[in-house]
C-alpha cells in the first residue's frame, strides 16, 4: 500500500456512529492506497473532560440519534440493533483488541474490532462480557483463552488508559474520529470529507492565518 501513513481510526466500541464508519473505512482507505490503524479508546474518559454524556441520555438529541441510526442502517443496507441497556462499558473488548494487535498485528486486530462492532450493533450481542467477546474472536480464528485473559491483564489495562490519555492529548473528544496526515475529522458523516482530503488535499487544506 505504498509508504503513506495509515489513517488513524479512533473509536469506542459502544458508538453506533463508529459502527457505520467501521463498515466503510477499510474500503475507503484501500481506494487511496492507505492502511487503517484501528485505535480503541473510551468515550467515558473524555466525557469527564468535555462534560458531555452518551447521546441516548440527552434530551431531544437522544430521540433524534435513535432515528438517525435506524435511517443510516436502511440507507447503507446493514443490520442495526439498539440494545435496551445501551450504553455499555467496553473496556474488556478494547483491551482484547490491543492484545491482538500486539500478538497478531494490526490487520487481525482490525478484523477483530470490526467483528465486535458487527456483533454489538448487527446482532445485539453483549460484547462487554469478556466471554462473549472472546467467542467473537474465536469465530475469526483467535485464541479465546488468550482474549479472556487479556480482558483482565493489568498491563493491557494500563495500555488502554495510556491510549485514552493520548486521545485527550491529541484533542479527540468523539467517536468515530479519523486522523489523516495529521488532519482530524470527527464523525461518520465526515468520511466523504476524508475521501476528498485523500484525493485533493491541497484544495481543502488548512487556511493561512
- Cα separation, 95 vs 158, in Å, equals 9
pLDDT digits (tens), the chain, 209 positions: 457 899 999 999 999 999 999 999 999 999 999 999 999 999 988 878 777 777 777 788 888 989 999 999 999 999 999 988 888 999 999 999 999 999 999 999 999 999 999 999 999 999 999 999 999 999 999 999 999 999 999 999 999 999 999 999 999 999 999 999 999 999 999 999 999 999 986 444 554 43
Cβ pair 124, 83 in contact under 8 A? yes
How is the chain split into domains, by residue range? 7-204
What SS3 class is residue 142?
coil
Cβ pair 119, 136 in contact under 8 A? yes
The CATH number for 7-204, chosen from 3.10.450.50, 3.90.79.10, 3.40.50.20, 3.40.30.10, is 3.40.30.10
| Total-model pTM | 0.90
Cβ pair 35, 106 in contact under 8 A? yes
Cβ pair 131, 150 in contact under 8 A? no
Of 44, 49, 32, 42, which Cα lies nearest the Cα of 10?
A: 42
| Cell numbers given for 187 | 464523525
Long-range contacts of 154-163 (CB under 8 A, 24+ apart): 156/95, 156/98, 156/99, 157/91, 157/95, 159/95, 159/98, 160/40, 160/41, 160/42, 160/91, 160/94, 160/95, 160/98, 163/39, 163/40, 163/41, 163/98
Amino acid at each position: 500500500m505504498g509508504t503513506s501513513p495509515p489513517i488513524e481510526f479512533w473509536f469506542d466500541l459502544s458508538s453506533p456512529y463508529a459502527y457505520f464508519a467501521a463498515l466503510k473505512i477499510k474500503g475507503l482507505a484501500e481506494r487511496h492506497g492507505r492502511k487503517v490503524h484501528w485505535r480503541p479508546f473510551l468515550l467515558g474518559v473524555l466525557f469527564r473532560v468535555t462534560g458531555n454524556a452518551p447521546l441516548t441520555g440527552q434530551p431531544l438529541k437522544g430521540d433524534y440519534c435513535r432515528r438517525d441510526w435506524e435511517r443510516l442502517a436502511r440507507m447503507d443496507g446493514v443490520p442495526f440493533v439498539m440494545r435496551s441497556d445501551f450504553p455499555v462499558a467496553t473496556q474488556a473488548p478494547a483491551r482484547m483488541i490491543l492484545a491482538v494487535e500486539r500478538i497478531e498485528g494490526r490487520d487481525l486486530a482490525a478484523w477483530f474490532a470490526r467483528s465486535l462492532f458487527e456483533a454489538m450493533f448487527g446482532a445485539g450481542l453483549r460484547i462487554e462480557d469478556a466471554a462473549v467477546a472472546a467467542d467473537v474472536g474465536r469465530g475469526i480464528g483467535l485464541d479465546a483463552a488468550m482474549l479472556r485473559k487479556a480482558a483482565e491483564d493489568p498491563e493491557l489495562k494500563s495500555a488502554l488508559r495510556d491510549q485514552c490519555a493520548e486521545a485527550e492529548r491529541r484533542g479527540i473528544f468523539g467517536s468515530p474520529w479519523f486522523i489523516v496526515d495529521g488532519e482530524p475529522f470527527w464523525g461518520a458523516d465526515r468520511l466523504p470529507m476524508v475521501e476528498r482530503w485523500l484525493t485533493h488535499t491541497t484544495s481543502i487544506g488548512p487556511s493561512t492565518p
